[in-house]
Amino acid sequence: MKKIAFLFFLVVAGVSFCRADEIVVRVNDEAITSSEIVSIPGEPEQVVDMMINQMLLTQEARKRFSITKEEIDERFERVKEDFGKEEEFYAALSLQGIDELYLRKRLEEDILKQRLISSIKEKIAVSEERLIEELSKYSEEMQVSYLVFEKKQEADDSFLELKQKGTTTSPVKEISFFCAPEMREEFSKICFALEEGQISHPTPIDDKFYIVICKKRQQTSLESLQRIREEFLSQGSSQDLEKPQEKEKILDDISELIEERIKREELNKLISGLIEGLREKAYIKGNRE
């Protein structure tokens, strides 16, 4: 099933099917057809937008890079070998409604796009100062109680009650230990402006008012650092790291994972910027325009 899914990914990531049908959008000297659009899950407008972006990236990659027949052959054989038996491979192609020539074209485009993305990625550098700044956000953790109100007057009344009596009749929610980046920025700013025992003034976030009570503030524990490390790994990290027990090694891992996240975010920004620039210069016209 995974092998067929991989072929399906190549099909939907491509930009032209074998069969000819109604042209919906022209992108420079290529076209997106109606059969392509309906074959991909999602809202048609979003699918078309995604396909235009992928087509423009492929066109740009062709301008910047070349690829040999041997490279395509090697990738093709690797895909083929994954199926074990040749008849299973060609049966999967038939199931997807594609042929060998089409698959080779998709593989060529995939290699070229990855080459383009790699060329952008290798230029991204994260300074030591940036890493230290980001890592420092995980040096402290807090345990808090908080209250949420729909109306400011209710929040003001509860705040006075807390200051005068040290308790309130309003519902109080609890959050166990967390570091600043683990919460929404606006909420973290309220929390980490407090010392132990302090109560924040009612603060608006969106259409509600928050009061935060700092119960405990301390250096981040080993247990919390291990949890943070696992959270980073669960967010799609490409790192393959053994689980350490020493605090210094855990911090080193977190530093590497933060660097990877920053690079990933920067890469997404650069690719988005590239696509935006390509769209401005491209000839893109709907068939019904």
Residue 1: pLDDT over 50: no
Query: 14 exposed, middle or buried (CB, 10 Å; 0-12, 13-18, 19+)?
Result: buried
Has residue 150 got a pLDDT over 80? Answer: yes
Whether the per-residue pLDDT at 58 is higher than 80: the answer is: yes
The answer to whether residue 6 scores a pLDDT higher than 80 is no
Look at the chain and report how many structural domains it folds into.
3
Q: Is 72 exposed, middle or buried (0-12, 13-18, 19+ CB in 10 A)?
A: middle
Predicted pLDDT of residue 5:
45
Give CA–CA dist 36/13, Å, rounded. 10
What does residue 229 show for φ and ψ, rounded to 5 degrees?
Answer: -60, -45
**148 and 187 belong to one structural domain:** yes
Q: Which residue has the higher pLDDT, 269 or 229?
A: 269
Q: Are residues 92 and 16 in the same domain?
A: yes
Q: Indicate whether 266 belongs to any domain.
A: yes
Residue 274 has pLDDT above 90, yes or no: yes
Question: Same domain, yes or no, for 148 and 84?
Answer: no
**Residue 240 pLDDT:** 59
Residue 289's pLDDT band, with cuts at 50, 70 and 90, is low
Q: Which domain holds residue 205?
A: 140-219
- Predicted local distance difference test score (pLDDT) of residue 236: 63
Residues 32, 144: one domain?
Answer: no
Residue 239: per-residue pLDDT: 62
Which of 123, 151, 178 is at the close of a domain?
A: 123
Candidate ranges 18-27, 29-38, 51-60, 86-95; pick with highest mean pLDDT: 51-60
| 199 belongs to a structural domain | yes
Exposure class string for 142-170: b at 16+ Cβ within 10 A, else e: bbbbbbebeeeeebebbbeebeeeeebeb
Residue 10 and residue 118 in one domain: yes
Please indicate, yes or no, if residue 178 is contained in any of the structural domains.
Answer: yes
pLDDT (tens digit per residue) in 209-220? 999 999 999 999
Q: Which of 3-7, 125-129, 236-240 has the highest mean pLDDT?
A: 125-129
Same domain? For 13 and 74 the reply is yes
Residue 213 lies in a domain: yes
Residues 195 and 273 in one domain: no
Question: In terms of pLDDT, which residue wins out, 19 or 195?
Answer: 195
- What is the distance between the alpha carbons of residues 194 and 215, in angstroms, rounded to a whole number? 10
- Residues making up the chain, counted from first to last: 289
Q: Within this chain, do residues 88 and 180 fall inside the same structural domain, yes or no?
A: no
Q: Could you say which of 76, 95, 123 is where a domain stops?
A: 123
Residues forming a β-bridge with 213: 145, 199
Tens digits of residue pLDDT in 244-256 = 668 888 888 899 9
